[in-house]
Amino acid sequence: MTRDLNQPWQRITSVPSIFLEAIRGTGPNDIFAVGNGAVLHFNGSRWLDLRSQISAPSLLLYALAVKGNTIVGVGTSVVSGYVGGGALILVGKRN
């Protein structure tokens, strides 16, 4: 859901149906969300799935921080279907 204070609530249907753990952003056109194997970015128009750009394919991120061009996710890896393969800190830079 999104809301402009001068407009009624609107449903955003472009979000993939996954369980999200954390959402952070720097403004309405720059929002990141992480969860069950997902790293998503909202650019003001649509949600982009960033999973293909990450070298850790099996991850579960619980927390997220965004500052300037740096994005940090914290969670755990998933090994053989079991959560807890090891702690994971994922650091990304914007282009």
pTM for the full predicted model: 0.73
- Please work out, in degrees rounded to the nearest 5, the angle formed at the alpha carbon of residue 50 by the alpha carbons of 82 and 33: 75
pLDDT for residue 1: 46
- For the chain, the structural domain boundaries read 20-93
Residues written for the chain: 95
pLDDT tens digits in sequence order for the chain, 95 residues long:
444 566 776 666 666 666 788 999 888 889 999 887 788 888 888 888 887 777 666 778 889 999 988 989 898 877 766 666 678 888 888 76
Lookup: tokens for 5: 């204070």
Q: What angle do CA 30, 36, 44 make, to 5 degrees?
A: 15
